[in-house]
Amino acid sequence: MTMPRSRWLLCLTPSATRAPVEASWLTSRSRPLLLGVTGVMAAFVMGAVAVVHLRLAMALLLGAAAVAATLVSPRMGGLLLVALVPITSGLAPGTPVPNVRVSEALIGAIGVTVLVSARRRDAVPWTVLDWLLLGYGLAWAGTGILDARALGEHLSLSEWGTIAGQLQFFLLYRGVRVALRSPAERRLGVFVLLGASVPVGVLAILQNLHFPAVGRFINTITGGVYGLQPGVAVTRATGPFDNWAALAGYLFPLLLVLLALAIAGELRHHQRRLWAVAGIAVVALLLTRELSAIFCLVVGAGFLVTRYRGARRVRRWLAPALLVGVLVAVPFLGGRLDQQFAPTPGTGRHAWVPQTLGFRAEVWSSQYLPAIAARPLSGYGVIIPPRISWQYPESEYIELLTHGGIPLLVVFALLGWAMVARARAVARAPDPFDAALGWALLVSVAGLLAMNVIWPYLSNGGLPQVLWCLFALAGPLPARSPHAGVLAVPTPARGIEALAP
């Protein structure tokens, strides 16, 4: 009797190399009626939408495919979130879904699907960081709604999206954390996150080289550079983001992760490829000319090299690397430094104070701080009060005080404490990969809290999406249930039993 091909494959595959096959909610048992009804309804909706908006219909089709893939394999959904959400977080709303960013649509479709379809016995326990991240998102939304009611404001659809915007980070974090939990899955997630930075860095480099059509393409997908007047040339690389600071924030934690993994010896099998990734990211970061991110990266790298275990083999290369780094960075940063410390007549700014800090101090002291003092416990919500002429707070902490007052700033401080505590706990993990990721997160959070003084990094695209993906991938997680959540793969029969039908 002929042996089925599947049995031949099982016999030829060593049992030690075959992991249990995950059974998702969709594949755990047959659901023909549900799948048939859902397919007919989806086809009807997409056909009706295609008549009036073909691009939106295509987006719905892709979204339905992503949801179906997630229902079949939550692991696939987690990898899609890690690969796509950070690099699309800077795209303008309305492409292709009206009033919605691509990253938000991905989080809403895939992240919610992962969380809703997860089995109760496979749930990931909640930690202090989970609760505080949810609490921060709810506090942001709650203060925005209360302020709108108290001030009699009528919010637009985009402003309602801003109110709910901080909750997307919670959905992203929990979605990735539930979907990718085994050591192999989490390692793969980290490498996918690092690899996805290559097209971002290449786009930034081509933008700085004024490659034909690249600048126009970036303006189209991002809606123009944030805070820059139309028609003004962009002299700093932004990549697929609407601001150079967002690109710098996106690259900042990724470079620290690469360095920490290299020091820990976790890049041995992918050394050449990942060093190429690091080289592209470093060049792209220098092209942003964002001094705060570059300075924090240098300080953080020095901390990792001198404090992280196993750094002795790296220290002998430190001086040559610093020399090469300075020689490479001078052409990029020389003009930027001259601009920052050049005297500005009529401003009263001291020569040793950077122009960026002097301008921000002037805006904060003359516009934002008086407005905050008028409503210190409630703020103004998502609409900047009319007394403020410069509509960009230029600081995470000023933005928090303007939005929700001192209570929201306190919630954010608690969230920052929880982030530091989680990073320290992961840095003590016995697995070298987890420990390296923990050290990188600890340095990233410390740098973020400092960088937030001069730009709202955690409320924009780029850095927060990367950071919450890394926190979701950091640290050991409980394995999936071996009972209802996994399909058993039969052990291959031996001898004459292998020939049985």
Give the DSSP per-residue string, 267-322.
TGGGHHHHHHHHHHHHHHHHHHT-HHHHHHHHHHHHHHHHHSTTTHHHHTTHHHHH
207-233 mean pLDDT = 75
* Mean pLDDT value of segment 115-139: 85
Cα–Cα distance, 196 to 277 (Å, whole number)? 9
Q: What pLDDT band is residue 255 in, cutting at 50, 70 and 90?
A: very high
Convert the pLDDT of each residue in 18-64 to its tens digit. Answer: 444 455 555 555 555 555 556 566 665 656 655 566 666 676 677 77
User: Could you tell me if residue 238 is inside a domain?
Assistant: yes
Q: What is the pLDDT of residue 437?
A: 93
- In 3D, which of 191, 189, 187, 439 has the Cα closest to residue 310? 439
Q: Which of 132-136, 360-364, 444-448 has the lowest mean pLDDT?
A: 360-364
Choice among 240-244, 291-295, 355-359, 475-479 with the minimum mean pLDDT: 475-479
User: DSSP state, 107?
Assistant: I
- Supply the pLDDT for residue 409: 94
Q: H/E element holding 208?
A: helix 197-208
CB atoms within 10 A of CB 11: 13
| Length, in residues, of the chain | 501
Rg of the chain taking only CA atoms, in angstroms: 25
Mean pLDDT over 410-427 rounds to: 94
Most distant CA pair in the chain, distance: 95
Q: Which domain holds residue 390?
A: 126-481
Q: Is 369 exposed, middle or buried (0-12, 13-18, 19+ CB in 10 A)?
A: middle
Closest by CA to 337, choosing from 361, 321, 355, is 355
* Average of per-residue pLDDT across 318-344: 60
All residues at 6 or more sequence positions from 71 whose CB lies less than 8 Å from its CB, including other chains: 24, 25, 26, 113, 117
Instruction: Name the least confident of 108-117, 233-242, 339-348.
Output: 339-348
User: In this model, does residue 404 exceed pLDDT 60?
Assistant: yes
Q: Band of the pLDDT at 263, cuts 50, 70, 90? A: confident
Q: 97 is written with which tokens?
A: 């879904």
Q: 285, 290, 236: which is closest to 256 by C-alpha? A: 285
What is the pLDDT confidence band of residue 439, given thresholds at 50, 70 and 90? very high
Higher pLDDT, 152 or 336: 152
Report the distance separating Cα 448 and Cα 464, nearest Å: 10
What CA–CA distance (Å, rounded) separates 489 from 76? Answer: 20
Phi, psi angle pair for 24, to nearest 5°: -85, 180
Percent of residues, the chain, with pLDDT higher than 90: 29
CA gap 275, 465 in Å, rounded: 23
- The helices-and-strands tally (H runs, E runs) of the chain is 22, 2
Are 66 and 80 contacting, i.e. CB atoms less than 8 angstroms apart?
A: yes
Considering the domain boundaries, does residue 57 fall inside one? no
pLDDT at 351 over 80: no
DSSP 97: S
Tell me the mean pLDDT in the region 107-126.
80
pLDDT for 497: 30
Residue 479 in this model has a pLDDT that exceeds 60: no
Q: Is 331 within the bounds of a domain?
A: yes
H/E segment holding residue 325? helix 318-341
**Cα 451 to Cα 294, 321, 355, distances in angstroms:** 10, 24, 16
488 occurs within a structural domain: no
Whether residue 389 has pLDDT greater than 50: yes
CA atoms within 13 A on the CB side of 165: 22
Q: d(Cα 91, Cα 183) in Å, to the nearest integer? A: 32
Give the per-residue pLDDT at 274: 81
Helix (H, G, I), strand (E, B) or coil at 484: coil
In a domain, 498, yes or no: no
218, exposed or middle or buried, with CB in 10 Å at 0-12, 13-18, 19+?
buried
Instruction: Give domain status of residue 270, yes or no.
Output: yes
Evaluate whether 200 touches 247 at the Cβ level (below 8 Å).
yes
Total of domains in the chain: 1
The model's pTM = 0.82
* Residue 40 CB burial class (10 angstroms; 0-12, 13-18, ≥19): exposed
Residue 178 within any structural domain of the chain: yes
pLDDT bucket at 80, cuts 50 / 70 / 90? very high
**Confidence band for 221, pLDDT divided at 50, 70 and 90:** confident
CB 454 within 8 A of CB 356: yes
Is 141 within a domain? yes
What is the chain's mean pLDDT, rounded? 78
